[in-house]
Structures are given as structure tokens and as C-alpha cells.
Chains A and B, each alone.
Chain A
Amino acid sequence: MALRKRSVGVVAVIAAAGLGLAACGQSSSGGGGDAIELTIAQNAIQGGKNEAAAKFIADWVIPKFQEAQKAKGKDVTVKFVPSGVDDEQYKTKLSLDLKSGKGADVIDIDSIWAGEFAEAGYIKPLTEVAGAEADSWDGWSQIPEAVQGMTEFNGKKYALPVGTDGRVLYFNKTLFAKAGLPADWQPKSWQEVLDAGTKLKSSGVPVPIQINAGTAMGEATSMQGVLPLLAGAGGEVQQDGKWSGASQPLKDALGLYQKIYGGGLGDPKLQQEAKGRDKSFQQFADGKIGILMEGDYFWRGVVNPKTGVAKMADRDQVVGYAMIPAMEPGKGIRGQDFVSMSGGALRTVNPNTKHPKEAFELLTFMLSPEALKEETKDGNVRITPRSDVNKEILAGEPLLTFISEKVLPLTAYRPPVAAYPQVSVALQEATAAVVGGTAPDQVAADYQKKLEGIVGGAGNIAS
């Protein structure tokens, strides 16, 4: 009998384990009856990355939305699923969630992932998921054309835009004063940036210039590095459906990397470190970096005196900013003197959700003027997708006014195609090779070879 009993026990344990596994597989949005549970996933976490966004969701969005739904007679519970990791890792996690038919009901994605997620069927056009309300949302009329464009793939809208951004050159005014450089610095060519770097170096600044390079920084190398430089040399990664190979603009952009990192004006090792970008933030905040190319996220989320990851109490006095110059005046894309790159986040409804209507309501709720104003108060201003809101909130914010008035009119966007992320990695590898000491011409030729493999042959590359 003892044997029997034990075998019963074993079977019970196995059965329990099986039930446990099955329970893990339950969708998070389950729940029967009238109770509806919604989840929101963002790469934001209290006490870490994008803390302000995480707080806003926990303290305002969730209680207010639940209240609003209750007023309509619906019992809705909203939960926040935080992350605080590199964007590439967040993307991997999301794709795995979506691939297995799971994931939060409302998800934030980078606009540049929309193409490949849509092709994989991970996200669907909003009208398919949420119905006709998606097109008739009254917010669309307030969103500029270019920002709406980020949500589209093959002519269909897959998400609502969360905002947009722009890139500038940040500089430390204290270090500039020591090096005899003006506090209202605005370089007009790459040479003027290099000259400022040389002066900073001779005044004892350890890292005069930081322009992201290498693969460890991921997309940050593309957006805050090689792409603005490429635009400044008059090039684009893709033009009229053809990819640019070993073009002169690419060689020029790589040439600038060589001058910075081969000439002692930058720290090549920082580009290789696993946490190099976080370190560059810290070094800028500690007054060790003179000039840094970054997006407005840096101002809002990194050196923000209240919620930044590398807080600078005296940010408003010490941190200066300037437009990114073209190689020489008039040499940028479209003949511009200054250039930038823009992207932005999107928020969409997971096609696997059990409550698409409520999830879409949550989406629009978070983009209502009321919510955006609440989110951006107390020093958390960002460029929202809505012109009506921007008009009010940007007034007191010098950098974001600067970006929305001076930078956004001349900015450029990444090609919204599924192959772009792979091309971007090839560009990052190219910058890594130059920083490692390979000649730009050789690196450009290698890049073209890799590009042929990615985009399907030399026929898709402009000669």
C-alpha cells in the first residue's frame, strides 16, 4: 500500500505541475463575466528608465481611466507591465510575446518596428482590431501629417503616435567657458565642431566630443550618430526606393568618425562598452564630455533635474544646445545648412487582446489633451503628437520650443520598411570598424557588400 500511496502522490505532483504550466499560459487579459482586465506595456519603470512615464501611468492613467469606465457602468481594471532595458531587448521581448499570441493589451513600440511587426502579423491595422472608431477618432485632425506618417505601413494606420522628437548637439557651457568658447555656440560646419573639440581638449576636457558609434549602442548609434552625419553630407540611407551603398556622403560621414576617434577628440572605448551609452550620459552629467549628439530624450529623461537617470541639478544653466550642422553650409540633404533625424514611439492595440474596444479607448484616453497636459506638467514636457496641446505646453520649455520650431521643419525620417533595422545594424558595424581603425573607404565598400545581402542584391542599391 505504501507503494500505491507514493505513486498517487507522484501523479498528483505531476498533475499539479501540469496545471501550473497551463495557468502560466493563461492570457493576462482573461477574466470572465463583466470584469475586464487590461494591461499596458512600456519600456518604462519606476526608479529607472522613463520613470516619469511609469509614474504617470500608475498615478494618473490607471485610476482616472478606471473611474471613467466605471461611470459608464464597466468594471475595468488596468495593470502596468514595466520594463527598464535597452530598446533592442524590449523589442525582442515584445516580439516573443506577440509571436506566442500573448502580450499586454496596449503596447508601446518604436515607430521603426512598425514595418517588420506588421509584416509578421504581430500588429494589425487599427480599423481591423478596434473597428471604425479608429479612423473617426477626433484626435487625428490635431496631428501633423509627418507624425501620422510614422504610424502607417503600406498606407494603413497601425497605431496612434505617442510623440516625436529631434536631435541636437548638447554642450556643457561650463567647459565651453573654460575653453574660451561662446555660451551661444552654433557651429555652421563639421570643421567648426572639430575646432571646438580641439579647444576643449587643450583646456583639459577628457572627452571633447561624443558621437555614438559601434554596435553596443544599437539604434542610438544610427539615430544619434551616423544618420544625422549622413544627412549632413547630403545622403540618405534609402532614396526613391534604392538603398545607398558606398556613396560619397557615407564616406564623408565615416571620415568624420575617423577624425574624432582617430584624432583623440572622442573616447573609442566608450563606443565598445556594453553599457557605453548609459556611461556617456553619466560622463556628460559629471562634466567630462564637452559636446554630445542626442535627442530631446536626453534633456527630458537623462539630465532632467527631477526624474532623469543622470540628473543635473543645474541643467537649465549648464547645458547648451545647437542645431547639427551640415558638413558645410548648404551641403545637407535638400540643400540644408542644418539637419536632424526624427522618430517617435507608437502605441497600439495588441491584436491578441480580448477587449479591443476598451483597449482602444485606453489608447485615445492617454492621448486626450487632458491626459497629455497632465503627463507633461512639472518639468516633464515632451513634444506630443497633438498641435493643440503642443501650443500650450511647449511655451515654457526652451529646448522643446527650439526643437519644434527650428529642428522639426528640417528633420528627416528613417525609411519605414521592414529591412531598415538590418541595414541599421550594418551601418552600426561600419562605424565600429572606423572607430577600430579601418579606413573609411574600405569600410564603405564592406558596408555595400553587406547591404547587398540584406536588401536582395545589387539591383536594389543606387550606384
Chain B
Amino acid sequence: MAQATSPPETRPEDEAQAPRYSSDAAGLGKARAGAFAAPALLLIAVFLVFPALWVLYLGLTNYRLTGTAAAEPQFVGLDNLLDAVSNPTFWSSTWLTVQFVLGSAVIGQVGLGFAIAWLLRDRRGPLKRVVEGLVILAWILPSAIVSFLWVALLDRDGGTLNALLGLPGFAWLLDHPMLSIIVFNTWRGTAFSMMLYGAALGNVPPSHLESARLAGASGWQQLRDVVFPHIRGHILTNLLLISLWTFNDFSPFLLTAGGPDGKSEVLAVHVYKVALQSGELGYGAAVSTIILLINLVVAVFYLRLLRSKK
């Protein structure tokens, strides 16, 4: 199957044409090209690079939202970082975030998104449109509205789910807060994976699948040996994006507010609580720095996997 696994070959002509597209395709020259890129770079510097550096700096101070330390913050060095890594709440939040990412993004959204895309790959007509429409609707509705609906669905006393199941008084958001937000986020974010895999599956050459079927490959074998190798890049890109999005997702707050007693306090919620609710901006910035590092590690991990394909 080695041939089937490789992507469309690079044709030798490409190298011959290379010089035409080498360095200055638009014929602008360095100065003008720089002038064109400058506004974008400036915006990135002002709204992305500077705030990131500012967070690094704030993490080294005892800056607070109110009180004396708001007026005159003191430099405290690495104290905030050391406090964070010795704080059990931080570690439990990290562990909850890992559960949240694995459960709702990697297993939930990727699994469900791929399953829907695979099942609907050859279908046309109303069923496909209805299913896709519903999944995408869950994705494009504003978080505030969607979470209000879910609170109404899962409420202990008057919730729709309890009414349907005949379980009055079952406290989903209190007794199973993590399960609730994982299912919620799976429902909410599946559309992206579904669309991405839908497009990717369209690129798998039907002839390859045909020959696999003629050779007697089962459904799973076709998936494993024909489809996955073709869409490997898509899978990794998708995993990278949704892992990072889910890692930094704040919408669980709208459902459980991190509760009860911190049992669904993922890192994004943890930072909001310490930095804005308790007003410890310095400590919150230090935790944000750690989150940034974790994000970088995750990104590098996926990018290396992606590159190792060549």
C-alpha cells in the first residue's frame, strides 16, 4: 500500500519553474513589500506580542485589581510561579483541563465529527443537509444563549432532561459537572471537525477505495490503510486546533461557574477566578504564563508529528 499512502507526487517540472516564483513574485521590491506587511505586523505587535510580554511581566509582580498593590505593585520575582506549582488547586485545575481536552476535544469532537463525516460521505439529499445543519447550528449560536439553554436542559428542579428521563431532582451540573461540560463541549464544537473531515474525505481517491474493496478489505481495513494515511495531515491539524481551543475555552464557566467547589474549574476558569474575581492579577498572570507554556508544548508536539510525515 506504500504507493497509496504518499500524497500527490511533486512533479519534476516544479523545480524547473522554481526560479520564476523564487523571491519577489509580485515584483514589489523589499521596501514596498515591507510597507505592505507593516500594518499587519504592527497590529500583531500591539495586540498580540505586547500583551503577551506584559503578562510575563505582570506574573513577576504582586499586582492586584484593588487595594494597595493595585496602586503600587511590587516586584516579587518567581514567587507567583512557585505559589502556583505548589498550589493543589492549580494542579487539580490542570488535571480537569486535561480531562476536558481529552474527553470533549480529542475523543468527543474528533470521534463524533469523523463518524458523522464518514457516515454521510456518500449521501446526498435532505438527510445530509438536516444533520449537517443541526450540527453547524450548535456551533454558530452565541455561547451565552447556548449555555442558557443547557442550564435549562440540565437544571435540577425544572430541567428538560430530568422531565424526559423521569428523574426529578437529579443534579447533573452538581453531581457530574465534568461529564456535563464535556458532553456540552462535544455537542458545541463537533461541527468544525465534521466539516474538516467531510472535506478531507472528499480528497481520498475513490479508485483507491475501490481497489481496496476489490482486494477484500473490510470497512475497518479500508479506513486504516486507505483513508487515514490520506487525511493524516488533516487529522493532526484538526487535533492541534481543537486541543488548543478547548484548552483555553471559557464557556464551561457559563454552565457551572467552575463549581461545585471547584470540581469543574478548568484552567481558563481558574485564571478568571483568581485574577478577576479574587483580584490577584499578578498570580493570575503567572498561571497564564504556565498555560502559554503548556499550549506551546502541545503545539510543538503536533507540529512535529505533522512534519514527520515527510
Q: Chain A residues in contact with chain B, CB under 8 A?
A: 7, 10-11, 14, 88, 92, 95-96, 99, 113, 115-117, 119-122, 214-216, 269, 272-274, 279, 418, 422, 425, 432, 436
**In the docked arrangement, what's the CA distance between A99 and B276, Å?**
12
Q: Chain B residues in contact with chain A, CB under 8 A?
A: 36, 39, 43, 64-68, 70-71, 156-157, 171, 173-174, 256-257, 259-261, 276-279
Highest count of chain A CB atoms <10 Å: which of B36, B66, B173, B259: B66
Please list the 10 inter-chain residue pairs (A to B) with the smallest Cβ-Cβ separation, ordered nearest first: A272-B260, A120-B70, A116-B66, A274-B257, A116-B67, A119-B68, A418-B67, A121-B71, A119-B67, A120-B66
Residues of chain B with a CB closer than 8 A to A113's CB = 66
Q: Given known contacts A117-B66, A425-B278, is B261 in contact with A215 (CB within 8 Å)?
A: yes
Q: Given known contacts A10-B39, A88-B277, A422-B278, is B67 in contact with A272 (CB within 8 Å)?
A: no
Shortest Cβ gap from A15 to chain B (Å): 9
Query: Mostly helix, strand, loop or mixed at chain B's interface?
Result: loop
Q: Given known contacts A7-B36, A10-B39, is B259 in contact with A274 (CB within 8 Å)?
A: yes
Query: Mostly helix, strand, loop or mixed at chain A's interface?
Result: helix
Q: Given known contacts A92-B277, A119-B67, is B259 in contact with A216 (CB within 8 Å)?
A: yes
B39 touches A11 (CB 8 A): yes
Residues of chain A with a CB closer than 8 A to B261's CB = 214-215, 272, 432, 436
Residues of chain A with a CB closer than 8 A to B71's CB = 119-121
B171 touches A274 (CB 8 A): no
Residues of chain B with a CB closer than 8 A to A269's CB = 156, 171, 174, 260
Residue of B nearest to A419 (CB): B67
How many pairs of A and B residues are in contact by the CB < 8 Å rule?
73
**In the docked arrangement, what's the CA distance between A95 and B257, Å?**
20
Quick one: which of B67, B256, B257, B276 contacts A92, CB cutoff 8 A? B276
Q: Given known contacts A92-B277, A272-B261, is B39 in contact with A418 (CB within 8 Å)?
A: no
Q: Given known contacts A92-B276, A117-B66, A121-B71, is B173 in contact with A273 (CB within 8 Å)?
A: yes
**In the docked arrangement, what's the CA distance between A10 and B67, Å?**
44
Shortest Cβ gap from B310 to chain A (Å): 35
| 8 further interface pairs, Cβ-Cβ under 8 Å (given A113-B66, A425-B278) | A119-B66, A120-B66, A121-B71, A122-B66, A216-B260, A272-B260, A273-B173, A274-B256
Quick one: which of A95, A214, A272, A425 contacts B65, CB cutoff 8 A? A95
Shortest Cβ gap from A300 to chain B (Å): 26
Shortest Cβ gap from A120 to chain B (Å): 4
Residues of chain B with a CB closer than 8 A to A215's CB = 259, 261
- Some 25 contacts from A to B, beta carbons below 8 A apart, are A14-B39, A14-B43, A88-B277, A92-B65, A95-B65, A96-B276, A113-B66, A116-B66, A116-B67, A116-B70, A117-B66, A119-B66, A120-B65, A120-B70, A121-B71, A214-B260, A215-B261, A269-B260, A273-B156, A273-B173, A273-B259, A273-B260, A274-B173, A274-B256, A418-B66
Residue of A nearest to B263 (CB): A272
Residues of chain B with a CB closer than 8 A to A425's CB = 278
Residue of A nearest to B260 (CB): A272
Highest count of chain A CB atoms <10 Å: which of B70, B156, B157, B279: B70
Highest count of chain B CB atoms <10 Å: which of A113, A120, A216, A269: A120
Residue of A nearest to B280 (CB): A422
Residues of chain A with a CB closer than 8 A to B43's CB = 14
**In the docked arrangement, what's the CA distance between A273 and B174, Å?**
7
**In the docked arrangement, what's the CA distance between A10 and B39, Å?**
10
**In the docked arrangement, what's the CA distance between A26 and B90, Å?**
38
B68 touches A418 (CB 8 A): yes
Residues of chain B with a CB closer than 8 A to A216's CB = 257, 259-260
Highest count of chain B CB atoms <10 Å: which of A14, A122, A215: A215
Residues of chain A with a CB closer than 8 A to B277's CB = 88, 92
Residue of A nearest to B253 (CB): A274
**In the docked arrangement, what's the CA distance between A116 and B67, Å?**
4
Residue of B nearest to A7 (CB): B36
B260 touches A99 (CB 8 A): no
Quick one: which of A95, A121, A274, A432 contacts B279, CB cutoff 8 A? A95
**In the docked arrangement, what's the CA distance between A418 and B65, Å?**
12
Shortest Cβ gap from B7 to chain A (Å): 34
**In the docked arrangement, what's the CA distance between A122 and B174, Å?**
38
Residues of chain B with a CB closer than 8 A to A120's CB = 64-68, 70-71
**In the docked arrangement, what's the CA distance between A322 and B202, Å?**
72
**In the docked arrangement, what's the CA distance between A269 and B263, Å?**
14
**In the docked arrangement, what's the CA distance between A279 and B156, Å?**
11
Shortest Cβ gap from A435 to chain B (Å): 9
Residues of chain B with a CB closer than 8 A to A116's CB = 66-67, 70, 279
Residues of chain B with a CB closer than 8 A to A272's CB = 174, 259-261
Residues of chain B with a CB closer than 8 A to A274's CB = 173, 256-257, 259
Residues of chain A with a CB closer than 8 A to B279's CB = 95, 116
Residue of A nearest to B169 (CB): A269
Residue of B nearest to A275 (CB): B151
